[in-house]
Amino acid sequence: MEKLTKRRLDALKPSKVGVEGSEQFLWDGELRGFGVRVSAAGLKSFIVQYRTPEGRHRRRVIGRYGLMTVEQARDAARDILISVAKGCDPEEAATRTDDLTVGAVCDWYLGEAEAGRILGRRRRPIKASTLAMDRSRIDAHIKPLLGKRIIDTLKLGDIEGAQADIAAGKTSKARVGSRGGATTGGEGVAARTMSTLHSIFEHAVRLGKITSNPAKGVRRLASTPRERRLSRAEIEKLGKAIRIAEQDGEHPTGLAAIRFFLMTGLRRMEGLALERAWLHDEEGSIRFPDTKSGAQTRVIGRAAVDLLLAQPQAGSRFFFPADWGEGHFVGIVRVLDRVCATARLEDVTPHTLRHTFASVAGDLGFSELTIAALLGHASRGVTQRYIHIDEALRLAADRVADEMADILDGKAAAARPSRRGALQSYGVR
């Protein structure tokens, strides 16, 4: 058996069927247990194979050929084999948590989740949108406050102290440049960050990365629910401000999105990421392949359908495309802020528009069950995936969308008797 050299590795080609399955192995003639593995795709990785003091067979990847030389890999393999000869198991030593930090566990979680090896809700791989939010909380709050802390020394008080710091705005940062958002604090952000941290630790315990969850038992702050919704007078002001903004050259996609959210009650990312293929205009519905509550069929009014069909295609699969690239529009918050500044309206977010849709639907006399179906909440005992689109639900969607359009355009009749008292017990999520 010859010694592994650069020339031998460069000449080594992948085989469709190697010595073991689809992989091919080549062993070093000088250092027993040291070799290289070639995948069917041609990826070459240095490995070391040994038997533990307990008699278990181990095969450990040292590194990738090209990122390290043959001699560097041989030296690393020799160190591992010397450790084994002294009675140690390098594989177990690599998984010890004595010096494992919170930041390292967070990095492990992101890597495993992005590879689809961690299952989330409904026992499916964690969504990319959820991972993006987790990464944001990790980078903005968890790592700055706890990233360097050793897991085994972390106490419950340390975690609740970090929560208090986030709530107090210790990790807040202003927006830098013209893109991206500001890092904010507050009770809601703090509580959601603690939920993320607790979930990361739970995954790490379940998969054997750490032995216990240091965040178990943490008391998360109870945030005050946002009840902000626009009155009819405020909707009229917003409509006037939208017309002024159109004349002043405000972003047309952002203005269209604001009207669409008011007429449908969709969540922000549901509306902005809405694809043309999901719209069934004849039945007035949107077939979402995935949402916060799973796959759904959502009924929307004819006025909302017409607004979507009026959007320029611009070669994008989205109804609200980005100004450049292949993604969807994301700037609705800044457009809404500018329009609300003109209308002199405060504390208005895209979620406020969703609350407002539910409020108008309640004013029109529709039941909470009907409003739940329009908003995409899971019905009691029946998921939205199987909701039957009957004529009554279609008429409700049309009625609310028409009413909202009339208020925005200053054409609405006098306000009808309000049913907000009954609606206050209904949570808009």
DSSP string, 6-39: HHHHHH----SS-SBTTBEEEE-SSSTTEEEEE-
Say yes or no: 107 and 84 in one domain.
no
Element (H, E) at 185: none
Q: Could you tell me if 173 and 281 lie in one domain?
A: no
Measure the CA–CA gap between 348 and 343, rounded to whole angstroms. Answer: 11
**Per-residue CA distances from 9 to 4, 79, 262, 306 (Å):** 7, 22, 63, 63
Q: Is pLDDT above 70 for 408?
A: yes
- Say whether both 140 and 169 belong to one domain: yes
Tens-digit pLDDT profile for residues 218-270 = 998 876 666 789 999 999 999 999 999 999 999 999 999 999 999 999 999 99
Residue 130 tokens, joined: 């959820």
User: Is there a single domain that holds both residue 85 and residue 143?
Assistant: no
Per-residue pLDDT tens over the stretch 136-149: 999 999 999 999 99
Distances in Å between the Cα of 398 and the Cα atoms of 190, 212, 217, 271, 360 are 39, 53, 47, 18, 13
| Domain match, 250 and 368 both | yes
Domain limits for position 190: 102-207
Total count of domains within the chain: 3
* Residues whose CB falls within 8 Å of the CB of residue 127, separated by 6 or more in sequence, listed in order: 120, 290
Indicate the residue among 75, 95, 115 that finishes a domain.
95
Boundary (domain end) residue, out of 69, 95, 121: 95
Q: Quick one: 59 and 125 in the same domain?
A: no
* pLDDT, tens digit, 9 for 90 and up, residues 33-66: 999 998 877 889 999 999 887 778 888 888 888 8
Tokens standing for 38?
């070639």
Q: According to the model, what pLDDT value does residue 95 have?
A: 52
- The answer to whether the beta carbons of residues 113 and 131 sit under 8 Å apart is yes
Average pLDDT of the segment spanning 180-202 = 85
Q: Are residues 262 and 369 in the same domain?
A: yes
- Cα→Cα distances 226→1, 363, 427, 429, Å: 72, 19, 10, 10
**Positive or negative torsion for Cα 272, 277, 280, 282:** positive
- In angstroms, the CA 179 to CA 302 distance is 34
The answer to whether residues 64 and 131 belong to one domain is: no
The 10s digit of each residue's pLDDT in 283-305 is 899 999 877 667 788 999 999 99
**pTM, full prediction:** 0.59
Residue 318 above 70 pLDDT?
yes
Does the structure show a pLDDT above 60 at 415? no
User: Among all chains, which residue has been given the structure tokens 């992989």?
Assistant: 23
| The pLDDT of residue 195 | 94
C-beta separation of 119 from 125 below 8 A: yes
Contact 372, 397 (CB under 8 A): no
CATH number of the domain that residue 385 is part of: 1.10.443.10
